[in-house]
Structure formats: structure tokens, C-alpha cells
Amino acid sequence: MQEQYSPRDIEAAAQADWNQTNAFQVSETPGQETFYCLSMFPYPSGKLHMGHVRNYTIGDVIARYQRMQGKNVLQPMGWDAFGMPAENAAMNNKVAPASWTYSNIDYMRTQLQSLGLAVDWSREFATCTPEYYRWEQWLFTRLFKRGVIYRKNGIVNWDPVDQTVLANEQVIDGKGWRSGAVIEKREIPMYYFRITDYAEELLTSLDDLPGWPEQVKTMQRNWIGKSVGMEVQFPYDVDSIGGEGRLKVFTTRPDTLMGATYVAVAAEHPLATQAGVTNPKLQAFIDECKRGGVAEADIATQEKKGLPTGLFVRHPLTDEKLPVWVANYVLMTYGEGAVMAVPAHDERDFAFALEYGLPIKPVVRTSAGNETPAPWQDAYAEKGTLINSDEFNDMDFDSALTAIGDVLEQKQLGAPRTQFRLRDWGISRQRYWGCPIPIIHCDTCGDVPVPEDQLPVVLPEDVVPDGAGSPLARMAEFYECECPTCGNKARRETDTMDTFVESSWYFARYASPHYQEGLVDPKAANHWLPVDQYIGGIEHAILHLLYARFFHKLMRDEGLLDSDEPFKNLLTQGMVIAETYYRLEENGGKTWFNPADVTVERDAKGKIIAARLTSDGQTVEIGGVEKMSKSKNNGVDPQSMIEQYGADTCRLFMMFASPPDMSLEWSDTGVEGAHRFLRRVWRLASQHAQGERPAALDAASLSDDQKAVRRAIHLAIKQASQDIGQNHKFNTAIAAVMTLMNVLEKAPQASGQDRALLQEGLETVALLLAPITPHISHGLWQALGHSDPVINAPWPKLDESALVQDTLQLVIQVNGKLRGHLEVAAHASRETVEAAARLNENVLRFTEGLSIRKVIVVPGKLVNIVAN
RNA sequence: GCCUCGAUGGCGGAAUUGGUAGACGCGGCGGAUUCAAAAUCCGUUUCUGGUGACAGAGUGGGAGUUCGAUUCUCCCUCGAGGCACCA
């Protein structure tokens, strides 16, 4: 064993051993318990960033720990390879997205492998290959035939200058990111997945996921947003509209119907369109509403504006005339695109009514009283007894609901209804670098799915997009085709699919990644699925995870696999953040400097007071800690870290700096600390390994000091087992190993028993660190005399008897304040403890002149003496 | 705007069911070793007052429950993630 810790040699040797034995390649071994450990696969953006390193290290720690529990562990890796960045890179560098993507994959694979992940690389795939997406197209055609996929119009961001559809990300302050033109909302036909058909199941089966964070389940529940209420119909006023009909609205508060003083519709609502024809001012307002992007965050933060249409509807209960307004706060995408406005009991209606002088009629007695004077109070929205509501007066919420519901149903102007906030999933993208939608448009046969024997519809790979619409739509050789049904000339669909579709089923493909006969080999799929542990960023808490759950249910209903949910346990990892530094430029802009190029200055207490650019010695502004990003130039390159310190140091630091679900702040000195620790471990082990191999430990005949060392060893095992195995708190597991190392370094090495104890201690350190820093553990394990590699060693067992102590230290409090300590026998009785506490010097001092009211004894913990 | 989460020393963070606030690491300070430096080792380090023993304060702010609150309840401030075409 080398005396110096040399990560370069140690890591190369360990990885060579694993590769030689195909250590992480797995198959469907019968009889062995499986563990499928999956990290969200990376988008091949160019090179690895720290977020990737963190994600895959967490996954690797869990995978390796489970292997040490004796399980057959599958940990695959692949590439989420379709996406917009490839098209942007193509436009900037005039390279085809395909070659850009494939070369990124090659580079990033090498980087990932240098981390020493226990990945079965034989299962690797990229979603942009026809071998993968043909099965996506195959599933699409099946679902299309079943009606799970359908076509309707949807609203998109339209750039009138570039004549192209933009992603929300490409719309900045309502303008196109390249053209700067004001974006318009435009309707185009798109394909939709009927995810709303699964809304109820997606909601209820969240209850079957105890291994998911409560936070994520709450977010998904709110996103699906089930509301039970009523559909209420407002008959049109024949005079004002010049026709008959009914305006439908959905409400969760039919009890407040008597307080409705107007109705409001979205700008895209048919009534608005109709009224706009004869009302130029209204039309101008509708056009204004159609300017700007479609992102809900932008729409919801706009100033609330509206205009009367001049149309009227009749109140379904009183027959009163109510004005119809167009309001920009009404979303066409929720419910019916129209609301009944009850300003007295709804905050947004209240603000709108105040702004435009519309009547406010209180109809519920709330804790704020019978009136609803401005400003708005949350109490106005409370449920309560009805007032000002004719025959419904004095009814409580429930009876009013029933009574009003009954009248509406009798008049056929209302019915109970359940409404979801969740919308169907539009997957058409007018972009090139994606999976082609396998549909052929025929003038006589309509939308015809591409027959199975003509799949896959292959995306041509030698295309460089130019940012002006999809290149596929200009490639006759792509879109010209024959109708599979009638044989006439037809046109192939040129839209591609949302890239979320590929990531919605990749976890299933890993079970049989090279299977040629279907999307999955059902036997393999049911062997591995569901995923036992899924790990990824919290930013995917809603969309990706909901779509993947939806797809799993679709695959189940297609008979491809048996389980109901894809991911049994979920760990959502926090972001990697770092300090930012900048200088203000004359034009008001900021130049950002990488933390690696900045030196900080500290005051006497070590607090950072200034920072200077290392190259010129001049000060830079400290910008605060933010997510690592290109724009703030605060990214730290994992590659240079690995080259400087080794993968183990990088992994150790990332796992130690914070628990996985919290954000992780990058710290160069923290990395050095992690490296220092590994050097200490290596040094102690190499000193120990130089001596003779010690004889077996005789745990029964240890001295008190030796018992204390052995206790430290088993406390570390206990702590690390709980932290890694159950709580996924790797930082405290590492802290426990560090504490153990502090003890082992000071432990005597004189006698044979001392050396046997140190052997047990060092073996424990190697095993407990094995999931986190696998390379050094590989080397340590060999040096400690084992011929079988540490990856095949079992996780250490806790010896409870090593933890037993004869005496305990208790805390003495007076009125809840710490006043002293008490050493007692481990099994001392309550009375003995209380008596000893009462005699404590400090207790006597602090209770002088007071009478003791109560003594609280918490066994093994503390005594609290209550006196006044 | 809406949904969700978070806030603890100079810094990252730790504290089974409410029971010693600050484990472990970083940084700082003092010392040893060294011709010197690097590396390493030892000590110390929440704040305020005090030479000291010790005392008081303290987990974003304000209230409440409790013998006892970082932990539970309510209100507020600030920050982060998501909002359906970034992945």
C-alpha cells in the first residue's frame, strides 16, 4: 500500500477492476431481491454540470448501499437527447442538431464514467435514435386509435416577424427573443393526450405513494386541482344578443349565486368574439388581450382590466339582467372560460367591481359581519348563513347548496359537476429536433396513423434549422407520402412531439433496452418495475413526474406492464448554488466573474468583507449566492475538480455539504476539507497495514478505554445505517464516520487487542464509506487484507452490546433552564435521580426562597425542577 | 397573481416522539514542527458583560400553547422552486 493518498492511481485501479469483471452489469436473476435505482437522465447539453454530479452521486450511493444489502441492483444511464438547445446550437454554429447531440453524449459519457458510477452501461440508450422513438410512435398510433390522443386547436406564442412559434422561454417581456417583435397568441391545430381522463386516478393513487415527499404530492394534488361544484347556466337575453342560448359557468360557490352582479368571460370566449364584431372599442380590447405570450405567470400578474360587451344574460334564479364583461383575469383554459362574478365574496371579483363601479351585494353573513366594505378582507370569502337571498335566507352553507342546486336542476339551468384544473396535454411542437408525430393527413380519410409496418417515421439527421419555422415543413421528401388507407397522395405530419414524451417512459425501456419485439419485454419490465428509488431535481416535481405517472398507467392499460405507479420512492434533490461576483459597467450592465478568479478578504472573525479579482487586484461586488448558471458565471467545472482532487473527494464533498433535498453551496475550502479527511483515512490505514495482521478481536475482555473505542465504532455503524439506509441524510452519515476517525486516530496501538480493535475500526470506515467514496474504499479494503472486493462485501452489522454504558449523564434544569449535570447509574430509579438533583448545589442556589411545585423526570435525559 | 418549500454562529450545516441549541466540517485566532514555506499536529472559537468562577441573551420578526418550543398553532417579512412550449 502506497503511503501517500494518490487518487489518480487508486481511482484508475478501482475502475479497471470493476470494468474487467463487468461488476455492475445485471440480469433478471431469479430468486434474488431486486432494487431498481434510477436518476433522472441528463440532457446532453455539452458537458456535465455540478447538478448532474450531485444527482448521480446520490443515486450511486443508494445503489451501492443496496448492493451491500445483498440485492440485485439495476442502475442504468441514458440520454434525454431531443430538445431545443440542440437547435439553438445548430443555428449558432451551423452544425446539425444530431451531430452536436451525439458528440456531446460521447464527451459526457466519459465524464460520467470518471465519477465511478455503479452503472450498467450495457443498457445505455439515447432517445433521439429511431431504435428508441419508434416505440414512442408505435404507442402513439395505438393511443390515437383508442381516442386517448385527439386533435383540437390550441393557443401558442406567435412571432409575427420570424413567422414561427416560440416556447415560453423564448418570450421575454412579451417580445420574441430574437426578433424583439411583440408576440401574439395564435390558435393552431395540435394533438392532445387525454390526461384528464386519468385525473381522478392520478389524484387518488398519490395516496399509495408513502415513499414520496409530502411536498411533491401536495403540489401534484393542487395541480390536478379537483373542485366539486356546479355548472350554472345564464340564459341569454334575446333582445341584447339577438339569439337564444345559455352562458355556462362553473362555480364552487353556488351558495353565493344570489350575490352575482355580473358575468365575466375570457377574451377568446365566443360571446366576446360575437360582441366584438359590432363594437370596435371592445374589439380593440380583445386584440390587446391577445398580445403578449401565453405563460400563465405573465397573464396572472397583469393589471386586471375589463370592458363591458353591451350584452346581457339573465340571472337563473331571479331573472334579473346581468351585464357580460370581458375580463383579462378569466382564463379560457379553465372551466368554461366564463365566471359568475360575486364581488362581495370573491377577492378578484371584488377588486374588479371596485375598479369599474359594479354593484357589490353581500349574501353571506361572515365573521366580518353583514357588509363588505373596502378594503377586501379574507373573511368575506368565508362560508356562512345566507342573507339578502329571498327564500334562501338564514340557510347555512350546506342547506343553501342543496336548495339552490335543487331549484337550478328543476329549471334545467344547473347541475352538479366536478371540475379539474388539470388540462389535456398538448404535445405538438412546430420544431425539427424531436420525435416525428406518426400521422398522415389524407383529404379523403382524414388523420391516419402510420401503420405499424411503416414505423419508425425516421427524422432526417443532416438538417440545420434556421429559426424560421420547422425545416420538415419545407422538405417535400419528408412530408410527401401516400395515404396508407386509400393510397392517394397525402401529407405527412411535420410537427414533432414534446420532449416530455420521451422522458415519460424511458424508465420502462431500461428493463429491456435492446428488445426488438415491442416497447418493453413484459417479463423484464415486471421483473424490475416499479423503480424502487427515483432521484432528480425538485424542478420536476409537477410536470415530468405527472406525465411519467400518466404514461405508466397508459402502458399498464395497453397490457405492457402490471404495476400502477412508476416510482415507489422519490428523492427530490436541491440545487447546487455558488457565490456570484460582478462589476457594474458604464452602460449599467453587469460583468460576472467566476468564483475561481476571485480572492476574498476577511475581517478578524473570518467574516467576508470584500472580494478582489485575482488578476488585477481590484475589488468586485459580492452578488449573493445563486443557482450555478452560465448567465451569472458562477459555475464550477466538475471536470477540473475531479482532475485536481479525484472523484472520491468530489463525491464526498457533495454528500457532506448538505442533505440531498436541500440546496448545496459550493465551497472550495470545503472540497479541500473533504480531501484532507480522505488523506487522514489513507494515512492511518497505511500505517496500520504496515504492521502484522492482528489476531481476532476478543470483544468480551476489553478494558474500559477499549470499550469506549468499540462503542465509537458501533455508534458510527448505527448512525450511518439509519442515515444512508432510511433517511437519506448522507451528510450526517459522513459526520459519524469523521467522528469515528477522530477516535481511531487517538486510540492506542500498543497491544494486540488495540490493533485488532483498530482493524475493526478501519474496516468499518472502509465499509461505511464504500457507497460514498467507492474508489478509496476499494483500495482500503484490499490493504486491510481482503481478497474479495468491497463492492461484494455486506454492510457492517451493529453489535448492540458494544453500545451499552454503565452510567449516564443527565441534565438538571430549574424552570426549564440548564443548571447542572448529573452522573447516574444507567438504571437508576426515578426517586434516586430526583433526590440527587434536589441536592445539586446550583439547584439549591436557584431555588433559594422559592417553593418547588413540581419535578419532571425524563428517564435517561433530564430532571426539570419547577419552582416559584 | 396562484401552488409548494425554506430561514439556526463568521460560513455549510446538526439536534428520535417537544427535553443539554450549535454534532461534523469550513473559516478565524493562538501555539508546535520547519532555516523558511507547504503539509501536518495541538488548543480555542454563538453573542454581550466579567481577569475569572459565572451571569444574561440567543434558532428571520411578532403573538400563543407548555414545566420545557429550532420542533406545535396563528400572523408577518424575506428567499427559492413550479405555473402547462427550458429540461
3-state secondary structure A342-368: CCCCCHHHHHHHHHHCCCCCCCEEECC
C-alpha cell at A412: 334545467
E strand segments, A692-816: 807-814
Residues A792-796 have a mean pLDDT of 97
Length A777 CA → B56 C1' (Å): 49
Q: Which nucleotide is nearest to A428 (CA to C1')?
A: B85
Report CA(A828)–C1'(B67) in Å, whole number.
22
The residue type of A511 is A
Contact A822, A863 (CB under 8 A): yes
A158-206 pLDDT, tens digit per residue, is: 999 999 999 999 999 999 999 999 999 999 999 999 999 999 999 999 9
ipTM score assigned to the predicted complex = 0.96
pLDDT tens digits, A122-156: 999 999 999 999 999 999 999 999 999 999 999 99
> Which residue is closest to B4 in terms of CA–C1' distance?
A219
Q: What is the distance between the alpha carbons of residues A612 and A621, in angstroms, rounded to a whole number?
A: 8
Which of the nucleotides lies closest to A216 (Cα–C1')?
B4
**A8, containing H or E segment:** helix A7-20
Q: For residue A530, is the peptide bond before it cis, meaning its omega torsion is within 30 degrees of 0?
A: yes
User: If residue A686 lies in a helix (H) or strand (E), which one and from where to where?
Assistant: helix A668-690
Q: How far is the CA of A454 from the C1' of B77 (A)?
A: 61
Residues A717, A764: contact at Cβ < 8 Å? yes
Amino acid code (one letter) for A513: P
Question: Which of A681-695, A710-724, A789-803 is predicted with the least confidence, judged by mean pLDDT?
Answer: A681-695
Determine the average pLDDT of the residues in A441-466.
Answer: 95
The alpha carbon of residue A777 and the mean position of all alpha carbons in its chain are separated, in whole angstroms, by: 32
Q: Which of A11, A18, A39, A9 is nearest to A115 (CA)?
A: A11
Could you tell me the three cell numbers for A347?
A: 377577492
Element (H, E) at A417: strand A414-420
Closest nucleotide to the alpha carbon of A860, via C1': B19
Where do we find the cell 428488445? A515
A169, closest nucleotide (Cα–C1') = B86
A815 CA, B69 C1': Å apart: 14
**Cβ-based burial of A295 (10 A; exposed 0-12, middle 13-18, buried ≥19):** middle
Q: What is the pLDDT of residue A219?
A: 95
Considering all nucleic acid strands, name the nucleotide whose C1' atom is nearest to the C-alpha of residue A80.
Answer: B87
- Of the pLDDT bands very low, low, confident and very high (cuts 50, 70, 90), residue A263 is very high
Mean pLDDT in residue range A525-533: 97
In three-state form (DSSP H/G/I as H, E/B as E, the rest C), the secondary structure along A545-600 is: HHHHHHHHHHHHHCCCCCCCCCEEEEEEECCEEEEEEEEECCCCCEEEECHHHEEE
Residues A844-859, mean pLDDT to the nearest whole number: 86
Assess whether pLDDT exceeds 70 at residue A239. Answer: no
Angstrom distance, A867 CA to B48 C1': 28
Look at residues A265, A231, A390 and name the one whose alpha carbon lies nearest to residue A319: A390
**Cell 480531501 belongs to residue:** A675
Nucleotides of B under 7 A from a protein CB: 1-5, 10-15, 19-21, 23-29, 39-42, 47, 55-56, 67-69, 80-87
**Burial class, A559, CB count within 10 angstroms (exposed 0-12 / middle 13-18 / buried 19+):** exposed
Per-residue cell: A568:
415507489
Cβ pair A562, A543 in contact under 8 A: no
Q: How many Cα atoms within 13 Å fall on the side-chain side of residue A30?
A: 1
The pLDDT assigned to A241 comes to 57
Question: Which nucleotide has the shortest C1'-to-CA distance from A538?
Answer: B81
In the predicted model, is pLDDT for residue A242 greater than 70?
Answer: no
Q: CA–C1' span, A388 to B15, in Å?
A: 56
Give A861 CA → B55 C1' in Å: 25
Largest CA distance in chain A: 106
DSSP string, A221-286: HHHH-EEEEEEEEEEBPHHHHTS--EEEEEES-GGGGGG--EEEE-TTSHHHHHHHHT-HHHHHHH
Collapse the DSSP code of A211 into the 3-class scheme (helix H, G, I; strand E, B; otherwise coil) and give the result: strand
CA proximity to A196, closest of A501, A553, A436: A553
| Residue whose CA lies closest to nucleotide B67 C1' | A866
Nucleotide nearest to A299 (CA to C1'): B1
φ, ψ of residue A469 in degrees (nearest 5): 80, 175
What residues does A187 pair with on adjacent strands? A155
A424: the nucleotide nearest its CA (via C1') is B84
CA of A151 to C1' of B52 (A): 84
Distance in Å from B15's C1' to A733's CA comes to: 14
> How many Å does it take to go from CA A378 to C1' B72?
24
Distance CA A189, CA A428 (A): 9
